[in-house]
Structure 1
Amino acid sequence: MPKKAGMEAWKKKRRQEHLEKKKYRYYIFCEGEQTEPQYFAGFKRLIEENPIYKDMVLIEIEPCAAETMRVIGMAERYVKKNKIQKGQIWCVYDKDSFPADDFNGVVLRAERLNKENPELQYHTAWSNECIEFWFLLHFAYYTSNNHRKEYISFLNDKFGELGIGKYQKNMKNIFDILMEKGNPKLAIRYAKRIIKDGQDKTPTEIAPGTKVYELVEELAKYLPEEIKDYF
């Protein structure tokens, strides 16, 4: 075996051993390439800085640049390729203008996959119609089913009031802005209320709505105590 190939195999083995030591494992597959990954990277950073959990929690964030059913498809291929047998697989995706069957289909596919291995569970953190609706809830309770442009306009106005310029899709500090200038605790409460009100409806029919709060609550458990209070 060539020296370089041997080194690569050794690194791969060491990485696998490192991952196996992690008790809590989260694999997050994001429809978008920047907005969602930047947001969840904020959780990852703080958790990895937390001396209590940094050696216990694994968080891997995978931008997919794909929509709805393709996101969970990419998650399945990643799981198979890396022989993942334990952990939580989270698919973060938007409704946008994609067909209802595709949007609802991700939830149905996750439910089927979850019957195969109780230690490897798939979760759907969807937003109808976009992740910006979750961001918006940090500032207000909002139930009008509008186009994403309206949600972005709302965020632009709110950011302007706060003196932090305009909302941008690829803001690297979006996590910090929402935590420090918004109210994550209220956002979770508002999102839960909306989901409860639509409990007999499909994800497509809950418009607007979001289940991103479920992943946020999971990750918030591992944040430093002084940060956890925000959630």
Structure 2
Amino acid sequence: MPKKAGMEAWKKKRRQEHLEKKEFRYYIFCEGQQTEPLYFEGFKRCIEDNPIYRDMVLVEIEPCQAETMRVIGMAEKYVKKNKIEKGQIWCVYDKDSFPAKDFNGVVQRAERLNQENPDVQYHAAWSNECIEFWFLLHFAYYTANNHRTEYIAFLNDKFRELGIGKYQKNMKDIFNILMKKGNPKLAIRYAKRIIKDGQGKMPADIAPGTKEYELVEELVKYLRKKKF
């Protein structure tokens, strides 16, 4: 075997051994290529910066550039290909204009998969109709079922008010803006209230609504206290 190829194989093996030692594992599959990954990369950085948890927690983020059912399909393939035997698999996706059966289908598919292996559990961090609704909740309790353009307009007004400028979908500092300028604890409380009010309904019928908070609640457990 050539020396370079041998070294690469050794590095890959060592990395795999290192990852396997991590007790808490989160594999996040994002519908979008940038907005969602950039947001959750903020949590990943903060966890890796925390000396208490950085050697205990693994956060892997996979941009899918795919919608609804394709996101969980890609997650399943990743789990099988990489022989993942332990961890939480999170599918982050929006309703947008996709059919209700596909949007709800991710939750239903996750429930079926979770019966197969208690050590690998799938979760649906959906937003109806877009992740901007979750961002918006950092600044206000909002229940009007408007088009996503209205949520973006709200964020534009709020960001200008804060002196940040215009909201853009692929903002690299969106995590810091929401954590420092917004109120993530209130966002979680607001999102939970909306889900409670929609109890018994399918995700596509909770409009607006989001379960992004469930993933955020998991990740903030590993942040430094001053961060949250």
Shorter chain as denominator, the TM-score bin is: over 0.9
Specify the alignment match of 2:213 in structure 1: 213
**1:70 aligned partner, one-letter code:** R
Specify the alignment match of 1:122 in structure 2: 122
**2:21 aligned partner, one-letter code:** K
Question: Residues 191-225 of structure 1: CA distance to partner in whole angstroms, max 9, x if unpaired?
Answer: 00000000110000000000000000000000011
Specify the alignment match of 2:178 in structure 1: 178
**SS of 1:204 mapped into structure 2:** helix
Residues 3-22 of structure 1 aligned to structure 2 (within 5 Å):
3-22=3-22
Give 1:12 shift: 1.5
Specify the alignment match of 1:227 in structure 2: 227
Give 1:4 shift: 2.9
Specify the alignment match of 2:166 in structure 1: 166
**SS of 2:204 mapped into structure 1:** coil
Specify the alignment match of 2:102 in structure 1: 102
Give 1:15 shift: 1.1
Specify the alignment match of 2:24 in structure 1: 24
Matched, 1:36 2:3: no
Equivalents in 1 of 2:51, 2:108: separation in Å? 38
**1:63 aligned partner, one-letter code:** P
Equivalents in 2 of 1:7, 1:46: separation in Å? 30
Equivalents in 2 of 1:16, 1:161: separation in Å? 46
Equivalents in 2 of 1:49, 1:172: separation in Å? 18
Give 1:8 shift: 2.2
Query: Percent of pairs identical after alignment?
Result: 84
Specify the alignment match of 1:2 in structure 2: 2
Normalising by structure 2, what TM-score?
Answer: 0.99
Residues 40-119 of structure 1 aligned to structure 2 (within 5 Å):
40-119=40-119
**SS of 1:77 mapped into structure 2:** helix
Normalising by structure 1, what TM-score?
Answer: 0.97
**2:42 aligned partner, one-letter code:** G
Give 1:7 shift: 2.0
**SS of 1:91 mapped into structure 2:** strand
Equivalents in 1 of 2:200, 2:117: separation in Å? 27
Give 1:11 shift: 1.6
Give 1:5 shift: 2.6
Q: Tell me which stretches of 4 or more aligned residues in structure 1 moved more than 6 Å.
A: none
Equivalents in 2 of 1:45, 1:8: separation in Å? 25
Specify the alignment match of 1:135 in structure 2: 135
Give 1:6 shift: 2.0
**SS of 2:203 mapped into structure 1:** coil
The alignment's C-alpha RMSD in Å is: 0.7
Structure 2 stretches lacking a partner, 5+ long: none
**SS of 2:90 mapped into structure 1:** strand
Question: Residues 4-46 of structure 1: CA distance to partner in whole angstroms, max 9, x if unpaired?
Answer: 3322221221111011110000000000000000100111111
Question: Residues 66-119 of structure 1: CA distance to partner in whole angstroms, max 9, x if unpaired?
Answer: 000000000001111100010000000000000000000000000000011101
Equivalents in 2 of 1:4, 1:73: separation in Å? 34
Structure 1 stretches lacking a partner, 5+ long: none
Equivalents in 2 of 1:89, 1:21: separation in Å? 18
